[in-house]
């Protein structure tokens, strides 16, 4: 298996509304794959389908080598997920959160203990150890959430706007963490609003109104669209869409 | 699973507000209902208009005064002062003793004793009038024994079985027991599940390999345990603070309580499937569960007096059946053979709500 995600003609309809319209793409193992689009373009719907939170209306979806229709339980064991909303329990301590999520993924007590030590050391959390997560600064919370999503060593990590509301320095650190996981052979699937972050990805797709309008490496896309940065491409695509509608 | 339950306990114990709801409310409620909502009447202040003034009338007044029910505040000679005393709210009842009371009594003539009660509170008024009649009739039979007058041919000896002293605490304990189990179990589970949804942690749980059934079981188990402890606490308090007699089997009572708790929890799960925030869950449990249970379960108002439509509605109240069960076990010492029908109703309600919740949950996944 060399592909982490394979999607063919994926469509999702809510009544008459088509949120995701015939998506086709493949994500390689170890790739940092960026998923861009305006609000309501269908990013979150697509990522929810890939994670098994939602069922596709039609099309083929294979995640980590497993079929989304028949093997969703196997998919769940092999992916990590971090949503745009904060996903740790505010009223539990760092260790309790790790123990809980580790337990859910069936980690052994010893593994959970060593993971806790590793994360506390890596993220410099010694001073926060006995305190509830609510007391942590937002940036640290997000980094901890990423580590927790990674606690069971999944093959693919899905990040749904992980850095919204985080300061630029922490965002940079967050991306360092993403790179170090990708270097270990993990596939990172990330949605974002920040166009500068898109430049950090190996390849990006831009979704407009439920369809993929662009899919390639940032440098190739800039060349193709004759643009200075991703933001320009994004605006061009969105405007094109608006003018065809009008 | 085990980790889930530990986490849930940690969260409950760390949140002092939910701890207060879990254990503070039951204790406060049982004490409030037991002491404040007391329907027994003692020491009602009354006035007497004594037009006769003879020895027999004084004897009657003393007899009334010496009963626990009445305190004779004022004795008037004529009816003129009655209105003013009622209006000042000093007295609840006036007994008017006619002229020539002793003479008529001795000669066995008909005596008309007038009783005027303040019916701005109808229940109190009718209870007072009943008490007055009881005191007067016992006075009459005492006097009849002394004289050669004919005794009443039929004398009614009434006995109030299962609650001989007619204490209203005995009536309230089953009701409060029911309402507290309902409140704590249904409201707390629905709020705690809604909280996971609100915070976004539910999404993370659904992405993990843990199944929805495991999530729900993990969330519900701590509340089963805590509600069960609560049930024990209420029963202990009613036994030791209010001297409630237990005629039936405690084991059966606890088993029925466990079933009722499961029913309330499945209702709570159902509420959480239709509400997305903690506030919605809380309001729904308050208005859709608590109020109808208090009003329609027969806890405060007798079901038999309701219009037929409401009587039908009351059949849908799980609380109604549980109150019947609790009363029957505690007061009458009933066994399972007497209660299988009510038990079956609660059991089917439990299964119904669990089924409904699972269905709702699946629909949500498909349309999301």
Provide DSSP, B355-368.
Answer: HHHHHHHHHHHHH-
Where residue B343 falls among pLDDT bands split at 50, 70, 90?
very high
Interface contact flag, A81 B204, Cβ < 8 Å: yes
With beta carbons under 8 A apart, name residues in chain B contacting A82.
Answer: 204
* C-alpha closest to that of B12 among B179, B185, B176, B177: B185
> What separation, in Å, do the N-terminal and C-terminal C-alpha atoms of chain B show?
26
Contacts of A96 in chain B (CB under 8 A): 7, 10
Segment holding B310, helix H or strand E? helix B308-315
CB contact under 8 A, B4 and A104: yes
Using the beta-carbon criterion (under 8 Å), do B7 and A92 form an inter-chain contact?
A: yes
- The answer to whether B200 contacts A86, with C-beta atoms less than 8 Å apart, is yes
All residues of chain B having their beta carbon less than 8 Å from the beta carbon of residue A86 are 199-200
Could you tell me the CA-to-CA distances from A131 to A102, B11, B12, B188, B263 in Å, in that order? Answer: 19, 14, 17, 25, 37
The predicted model gives A86-96 an average pLDDT of 84
Contacts B207 to A, Cβ<8 Å: 51-53, 76, 79, 81
- Reported as type and span, the H/E element at residue B169 is helix B168-182
Residue contacts between A and B (CB atoms, under 8 Å): 74
Q: Which of these, B33, B52, B328, lies nearest to B172 by C-alpha position?
A: B33
Report in angstroms the alpha-carbon separations of B198 from A63, A148, A166, B289: 28, 20, 21, 22
User: What does each C-alpha distance from A159 to A10, A164, A167, A203, B359 come to in angstroms?
Assistant: 20, 11, 17, 15, 30
What CATH number was assigned to the domain covering residues B44-146? 3.40.1710.10
Residue A124 counted as domain residue: no
Chain B residues in contact with A154 by the CB 8 A cut-off are: none
Among chain A, residues having any CB pair with chain B shorter than 8 Å are 14, 48, 51-55, 73, 76-77, 79, 81-83, 85-92, 96, 99-106, 132, 149
Among B149, B160, B132, B162, smallest CA distance to B72 is for B132
Q: Other CB atoms closer than 10 Å to residue B279's CB: what's the count? A: 12
Among candidates A96, A106, A132 on the partner chain, residue whose Cβ is nearest the Cβ of B7 = A96
CA distances B55 to A158, B52, B208, Å, are 98, 9, 90
pLDDT higher than threshold 80 for residue A153? yes
In a 3-state reduction of DSSP, which class is residue B267? Answer: helix
d(CA A99, CA B249): 43
Report the pLDDT averaged over residues B187-206. Answer: 84
The reply to whether A25 falls in a domain is yes
Report CA-CA distances (Å) from B94 to B47, B89, B130, B367: 5, 12, 13, 71
- Number of domains composing chain A: 1
What mean pLDDT is reported for chain A? 85
Report the candidate in A53, A50, A43 with the shortest Cα–Cα distance to residue A4: A50
Q: Whole domain around residue A182: which residue ranges?
A: 3-86+138-234
pLDDT recorded at residue B352: 92
The more confident residue out of B67 and B164 is B67
Domain residue ranges in chain B: 2-37+167-367, 44-146
**Confidence class for position B258, pLDDT limits 50, 70, 90:** very high
Q: Are B75 and B107 in contact (CB under 8 A)?
A: no
Task: Note whether B7 contacts A86, CB cutoff 8 Å.
Answer: no
Cα maximum dimension of chain B: 94
Look at strands B70-76 and B44-50 and give their pairing.
Answer: parallel
A37 assigned to some structural domain: yes
Instruction: State the nearest Cα–Cα gap between B274 and chain A, in angstroms.
Output: 18
Strand order in the sheet with A79-82: A79-82, A156-160, A187-192, A32-37, A203-208, A211-216
- B201 interaction partners in chain A (CB closer than 8 Å): 87-89
pLDDT value of position B165: 63
* Subunit contact A103:B200, Cβ cutoff 8 A: no
pLDDT bin (cut points 50, 70, 90) of residue B366 is: low
Cα–Cα nearest to B277, from B169, B157, B159, B192: B192
In a domain, A122, yes or no: no
% of chain B with per-residue pLDDT over 90: 7
B73: enclosing H helix or E strand: strand B70-76
Q: Are A154 and A129 in contact (CB under 8 A)?
A: no
**Residue B202: closest C-alpha in chain A:** A87
Q: Do B368 and A54 touch (CB under 8 A)?
A: yes
> Are the beta carbons of A91 and B210 separated by less than 8 Å?
no
Judging contacts by C-beta atoms under 8 Å, the chain B residues touching residue A76 are: 207-209
- Residues of chain A in contact with residue B3, where contact means CB-CB under 8 angstroms, are 99-100, 102-104
For range B39-64, the mean pLDDT: 84
CB–CB contact A103 B10 (8 Å): no
> Diameter of chain A by CA atoms?
61
Q: Which of A211-220, B147-156, B183-192, B257-266 has the lowest mean pLDDT?
A: B147-156
Cα B218 from Cα B202, distance rounded (Å): 13
In the sheet that holds A17-28, the strands lie side by side as A17-28, A3-14, A58-63, A66-67
Q: Quick one: tokens of B314? A: 């009351």
User: In chain B, what residues touch A52 (CB-CB under 8 Å)?
Assistant: 206-207
Partner residue opposite B204 with nearest CB, options A77, A87, A103: A87
User: Do A104 and B199 count as a contact with CB atoms less than 8 A apart?
Assistant: no
Q: What is the pLDDT of residue A196?
A: 82
Measure the CA–CA gap between B179 and B196, rounded to whole angstroms.
26
CATH of the domain at A167: 3.40.50.300
């Amino acid at each position: 298996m060399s592909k982490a995600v394979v999607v063919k003609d994926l469509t999702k309809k809510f009544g008459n509304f088509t949120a995701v319209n015939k998506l086709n793409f493949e994500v390689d193992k170890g790739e940092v794959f960026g998923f861009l689009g305006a609000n309501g373009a269908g990013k979150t719907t697509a990522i929810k389908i890939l994670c098994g939170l939602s069922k596709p209306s039609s099309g083929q979806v294979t995640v980590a080598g497993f079929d989304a229709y028949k093997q969703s339980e196997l998919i769940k064991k092999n992916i990590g997920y971090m949503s745009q909303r904060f996903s740790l329990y505010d009223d539990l301590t760092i260790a309790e959160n790790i123990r809980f999520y580790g337990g859910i993924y069936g980690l052994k007590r010893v593994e959970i203990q060593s993971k806790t030590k590793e994360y506390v050391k890596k993220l410099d959390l010694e001073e926060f150890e006995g305190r509830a997560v609510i007391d942590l600064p937002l940036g640290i919370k997000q980094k901890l959430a990423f580590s927790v999503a990674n606690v069971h060593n999944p093959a693919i990590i899905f990040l749904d706007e992980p850095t919204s509301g985080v300061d630029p320095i922490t965002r940079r650190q967050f991306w360092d963490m993403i790179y170090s996981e990708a270097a270990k052979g993990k596939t990172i699937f990330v949605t974002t609003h920040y166009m500068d972050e898109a430049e950090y990805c190996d390849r990006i797709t831009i979704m407009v109104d439920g369809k993929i309008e662009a899919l390639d490496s940032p440098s190739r896309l800039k060349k193709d669209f004759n643009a200075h940065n991703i933001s320009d491409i994004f605006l061009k695509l969105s405007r094109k869409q608006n003018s065809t509608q009008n | 699973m085990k980790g889930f339950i530990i986490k849930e306990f940690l969260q409950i114990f760390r949140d002092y507000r939910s701890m207060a709801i879990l254990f503070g409310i039951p204790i406060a409620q049982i004490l409030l209902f037991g002491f404040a909502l007391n329907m027994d009447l003692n020491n009602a202040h009354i006035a007497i208009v004594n037009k006769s003034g003879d020895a027999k009338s004084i004897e009657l007044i003393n007899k009334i005064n010496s009963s626990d029910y009445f305190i004779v505040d004022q004795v008037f000679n004529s009816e003129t002062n009655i209105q003013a005393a009622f209006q000042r709210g000093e007295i609840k009842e006036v007994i008017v003793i006619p002229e020539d009371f002793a003479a008529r009594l001795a000669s066995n003539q008909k005596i008309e004793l007038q009783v005027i009660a303040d019916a701005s509170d109808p229940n109190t008024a009718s209870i007072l009038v009943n008490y007055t009649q009881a005191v007067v009739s016992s006075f009459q039979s005492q006097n009849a024994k002394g004289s050669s007058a004919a005794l009443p041919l039929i004398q009614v000896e009434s006995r109030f079985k299962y609650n001989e002293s007619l204490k209203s605490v005995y009536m309230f304990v089953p009701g409060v027991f029911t309402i507290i189990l309902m409140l704590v179990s249904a409201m707390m589970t629905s709020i705690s599940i809604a909280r996971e949804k609100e915070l976004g942690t539910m999404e993370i749980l659904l992405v993990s390999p843990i199944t929805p059934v495991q999530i729900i079981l993990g969330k519900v188990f701590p509340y089963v345990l805590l509600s069960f402890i609560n049930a024990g606490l209420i029963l202990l308090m009613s036994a030791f603070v209010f001297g409630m007699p237990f005629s039936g089997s405690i084991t059966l009572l606890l088993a029925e309580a466990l079933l009722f708790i499961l029913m309330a929890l499945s209702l709570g799960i159902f509420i959480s499937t239709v509400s997305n925030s903690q506030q919605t869950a809380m309001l729904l449990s308050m208005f859709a569960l608590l109020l109808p249970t208090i009003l329609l379960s027969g806890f405060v108002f007798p079901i038999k007096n309701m219009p037929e439509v409401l009587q039908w509605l009351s059949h849908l109240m799980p609380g109604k059946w549980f109150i019947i069960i609790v009363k029957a076990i505690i007061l009458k010492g009933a066994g399972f053979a007497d209660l299988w029908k009510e038990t079956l109703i609660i059991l089917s309600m439990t299964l119904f709500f669990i089924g409904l919740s699972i269905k709702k949950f699946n629909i949500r996944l498909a349309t999301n």
